[in-house]
Structure 1
Amino acid sequence: MLIRADDALLLVVDLQDRLMPALAEGDATARHALDLMATAAELDVPIVVSEHCVDKLGGSLPTVRDAAHATGATIVNKTHFSCASEPGFLGMLERLGRRQVVLVGAEAHVCVMQTGLSLLAAGHAVFVVADAVASRDPAQKALALQRLQGAGAAVVSSEMVMFEWLGCANHPAFRQVLPRIKRG
């Protein structure tokens, strides 16, 4: 199944101030997530950003928060590891009317994985962006991606998502998105 801009939403999970420095490849993860946020905004793909236990982990990275405000993203505060366990979260997704969830964030083996598994159980198509998720331990990330894939999620790259959202080289936003794709 292709990821379609008209049926997808981007879910950015817990890319937060105090968590990111501890993550393996945290800087690259944030960069890919920000590229996807910018592309989603250009293609009218709704964006949801979660923040876990803000009092302990701080808010989103300033770059993520700035991008969220600039794109009109919905910011959700949470205490559950799975976004889908937060009261009203699944209802919010239903109101957005998108069945495909492109999932990025941290930590891959905790909040990202539990969110992905819950969304699959709720009937959503889940696409986990391997280069835009991170854990403190790369082995934990690998296990999370393996488990998500085994449960039915597609493991993809940020470049795959951007090309699939565009659909063709004649898309009006192709020239704006291309530098992000080339940056890799």
Structure 2
Amino acid sequence: MLIQRERSCLLIVDMQERLLPAMAGVEPLLHHAGILIRAAKRLDLPILVSEQYPKGLGPTDPGLRTLLGNEIEPLPKTHFSCTEDPDIRARLHALAREQGRDQVIILGVEAHVCVLQTALGLPKLGLAPFVVGDAVASRQPERRQMALDRMARHGIEIVTTEMALFEWLGKAGTPEFKELSALIR
């Protein structure tokens, strides 16, 4: 199934300042997250941001907060899965019901805990998860890979940043294409 711009929303899972330094491959993770945030904002896609126990793990990474802007308020949670948090679940349902946004493009940490549990929970809500494999991380690379393998076995679409970007764009020659394709060069 292709990602469709008009059916998509972006879900950023727990990209917090005290958690990110422990992740393997944090620089590529932040780079790909930045591309996806810029693209989602330029294409007017809804963006949801979760924060796992922000009192202990701190707020969303300052660089990402700058990209997100003040209009996007992170949603605190204590459940590992975003789908188990009543506020996040309600927002996802509202996006699907009111705007037809039933495709959830997921990035964040940790791949084998919060990302995995969220991705596995979304189909139970009637939503289609797409996990951006090069925009998720864990403390150990093998845990990230095991999570991606498990999600794929359960029918979760694993995509790359470029796949998501070009499926959102759909065609070349548009002002959006010219602006956003430059992000991956």
Q: Please name the residue that 2:42 is paired with.
A: 42
Aligned-residue Cα RMSD (Å) equals 1.1
Among all aligned residue pairs of Structure 1 and Structure 2, give the percentage whose two residues are the same amino acid: 44
Q: How high is the TM-score relative to the length of structure 1?
A: 0.94
Q: Please name the residue that 2:83 is paired with.
A: 84
Does residue 1:21 correspond to 2:24, yes or no?
no
Q: Please name the residue that 1:122 is paired with.
A: 125
Does residue 1:111 correspond to 2:119, yes or no?
no
Q: Alpha-carbon deviation of 1:176?
A: 1.0
State the alpha-carbon separation in 2 of the partners of residues 147 and 91 from structure 1.
Answer: 26
State the alpha-carbon separation in 2 of the partners of residues 180 and 121 from structure 1.
Answer: 34
State the alpha-carbon separation in 1 of the partners of residues 63 and 47 from structure 2.
Answer: 15
Aligned runs of 1:57-96 on 2, under 5 Å?
57-69=57-69, 72-96=71-95
Q: Runs of 5+ in structure 2 lacking a partner?
A: none
- Is contact 2:60–2:74 with CA below 8 Å preserved after alignment? no
Q: SS of the counterpart of 2:133?
A: strand
Size of the alignment, in residue pairs? 181
Q: Once superposed, which parts of structure 1, at least 4 consecutive aligned residues long, lie more than 2 Å away?
A: none
Q: Please name the residue that 1:155 is paired with.
A: 158
Q: SS of the counterpart of 2:69?
A: helix
Q: Please name the residue that 2:147 is paired with.
A: 144
Q: Runs of 5+ in structure 1 lacking a partner?
A: none
Q: SS of the counterpart of 1:113?
A: helix
Q: Please name the residue that 2:54 is paired with.
A: 54
Q: Alpha-carbon deviation of 1:177?
A: 0.4
State the alpha-carbon separation in 2 of the partners of residues 160 and 106 from structure 1.
Answer: 20
Q: Alpha-carbon deviation of 1:148?
A: 0.8
Q: SS of the counterpart of 1:173?
A: helix
State the alpha-carbon separation in 1 of the partners of residues 64 and 23 from structure 2.
Answer: 16
Q: Alpha-carbon deviation of 1:34?
A: 1.3
State the alpha-carbon separation in 1 of the partners of residues 155 and 143 from structure 2.
Answer: 19
State the alpha-carbon separation in 1 of the partners of residues 106 and 128 from structure 2.
Answer: 10
